A and B are shown apart, each in its own frame.
Chain A
Amino acid sequence: MHVNRLSSLFAIPDWSLEHTHLRLILLILGILLLLSVVFGVSLGPVSISMADVWRIAIYKIGLIERGDWSIGSENIVWLIRFPRVMLALVVGGGLAVVGVTLQALVRNPLADSYILGISSGASVGAVLAIGLGVFTFAGSLAVQLGGFLGALVAFAIVFALANIRGRIAPGKLILSGIGVGYVFTGITSFITLTSSNKELAEQILSWTLGSLARASWFDLTLPSLILLLGTTYLILQSRNMNALAVGDETATTLGLNVEKVRRQLFILTSLITGVVVAVSGTIGFIGLIVPHIVRLFVRSDHRRVLPISLFVGSIFLIWVDVIARTAFAPIELPVGVITSILGGPLFILILLRVRRGGKGNIL
């Protein structure tokens, strides 16, 4: 191979620097995430000083002796606010990563687990577990197992509907997602309204709106674990996702076993969506908003979009939840209400922009 004379010139920037940039961006986002957790835990309707909040946290980890704070403060901080902020972190990151993956998988930036009806499917599974006691063999993980299976079923149906002889018709995909979403939301309502359990009905209402209010340390374990392992795997697949985003034929000729990769991503996104929905309900549009904003800054290379979206999703949902529980205090809004108010218009905006720009064919 002959040595390229041009590339040795100053005039051409060193694009390999982008790796350094990515590390720097992730470092900054990591710090921002930490600060968001700090503020998120400190803010709430009951005012507790930031110093106390952190002394309680450090005491709970076992590093210092108990101080002179009240039991009430201790419980609020440790049993309510911390799990809640951590849940926002996990759910926000999870939904963002799922959004990125789905968009590559179906080659459409309008995809999101909420829009494609996958979240609604997960809801049905979770509600079946709570309301009718299905999946009791899974013990305390029944709800999350239900969520996963529901997500998988919904995704499979949407995918089958949009698949025309091996090619996914993007317009059909969105419409199938909306249709399947309606049916599953209907089933959730049906189970709720015909159930004799009044508490269940209330629980499920907050579900369909998407809420982080019932956060507990126990509920966090499985989603955290799955998000961690799942995201690691997805990041390893991000080079393949680039090829997949261009097209199935291109991906095949670049050496991908498209069916296999697709199947893996399919199961993994269902798994993450399922456990996330099981603990937080259907919080919409995070998977749409976050990757879209991230792409505006770093473009489409999934090796950047995926890890950055993970952090941005976490930070974003922590702050949306802070707004949800403080802006209209003492009334608390389900966080899904706010994400929908923000996300719906953005969905329309992307739709208009892409149509006007005429790049690709989304619908």
Chain B
Amino acid sequence: MFTLRTVLRAALIGALTGSPLAVAQDGPGLGIPASAEEVAAWDLTIAPDGIGLPPGSGDARRGAEVYALQCIACHGAEGSGQPSARLVGGHGSLAGDAPVKTIGSYWPYATTVFDYIRRAMPLTQPQSLSNDDVYAVTAYLLHLNGIIDDDDVMNAETLPRIEMPNRNGFIVAYPTLRD
């Protein structure tokens, strides 16, 4: 069934070891099956199509409150930056001599904002925010960048539909792997 992969693997192992014995080696098959519940608990991935987004919702008004408590110390008032990354502005700057890369000017997908905040922020206490608060802060940052209104509600349905300003600003350098 997976002929190509099998051939690739045999070639790989042969090339690595130069040993005909190794070509016949399969792994010892020691992987421990993971249940659907375990996979769901471990899986933090959110794709651009929104798969993986959890229940919950929030808007920019609520997000401003969360930001003031959790984010402002590193990212400054209204995402202006310092000491950490600037999050707002820079629109239209990428083609100039002093590009300012922010969520609004550079990030191609709104889902990535939610994904990154949920897994990595706030720096000193990642994965501590509720899903509602992550949606709310995401909405606030999108609003500060002029992408949504302050009462637009972000949730698993609305967030993947956001068209980011720089959505078409990227060129995939790696050869496409689609058949």
The answer to whether A and B interact is no
